[in-house]
Structure 1
Amino acid sequence: MAKTTKPASFETAMTELEALIAEMEGGDAALEATLLAYKRGSELIRFCQEQLASAEQQIKILDGDSLKPFEAEEAE
């Protein structure tokens, strides 16, 4: 159920988070299990936010400390 280990990657954290959400939305878990799932979900969200902030910082460094607007290329 609820793990206390750090996820291996952003993707594994998102996968685990999606599974926890589906489990909680099912409404069949006991209160204690739901609380543990909520706590683990909070940890996973925090981990993902940190990973995204780190990636953003790396992009800022690569782009000279300024994020540029994304412009998608149109397919011809």
Structure 2
Amino acid sequence: MGGFISARAPMPKAAKATAATPVDFETGLRELETLIAELEAGNLSLDAALNAYQRGQTLLGFCQGKLTAAEQQLKVLEAGQLKPFQGDPE
């Protein structure tokens, strides 16, 4: 059953650097933005683009999870009432 060789394309630069779970929201968001720029540039091979898309989906889920957790913390801190952001007082 041997003889099958994987033709997996190399991962894009951003995905190569941090294929593990990001350490924090900001790191995940930066990597996601880099992947989006690489995909939008259109210079990736099909396989590399698919790998970048998959990594982007993972990063998106990670970032959304971090935002949801932060929102839950705010609800607890505000006694269950999420207050609208007032913005800059100027």
TM-score when normalising by structure 1: 0.90
Post-superposition offset of 1:56: 0.3
Question: Which amino acid in structure 1 is aligned with residue 32 of structure 2?
Answer: L
Residue correspondence of structure 1 range 28-39 to structure 2 within 5 A: 28-39=43-54
Q: Deviations over 1:28-73 (max 9, x none)?
A: 1100000000000000000000000000000000000110122235
Tell me how far apart the structure 2 counterparts of residues 72 and 41 of structure 1 sit (CA, whole Å): 30
Kindly report the root-mean-square deviation, in angstroms, between the aligned alpha carbons of the 2 structures: 1.2
Post-superposition offset of 1:4: 3.4
Q: Which residue matches 2:66?
A: 51
Q: Percent identity?
A: 48
By relative contact order (CA 8 Å, sep 6+), the higher-ranking structure is: 1
5+ unaligned residues in a row in structure 1: which ranges? none
Match among 63, 67, 73 for residue 78 of structure 2: 63
Which one has a larger percent helix, Structure 1 or Structure 2? 1
5+ unaligned residues in a row in structure 2: which ranges? 1-11
Post-superposition offset of 1:74: 2.7
Residue correspondence of structure 1 range 6-25 to structure 2 within 5 A: 6-25=21-40
Question: Which amino acid in structure 2 is aligned with residue 38 of structure 1?
Answer: Y
Tell me how far apart the structure 2 counterparts of residues 41 and 73 of structure 1 sit (CA, whole Å): 32
Post-superposition offset of 1:16: 0.3
Tell me how far apart the structure 2 counterparts of residues 51 and 73 of structure 1 sit (CA, whole Å): 24
Number of corresponding residues? 75
Tell me how far apart the structure 1 counterparts of residues 71 and 23 of structure 2 sit (CA, whole Å): 19
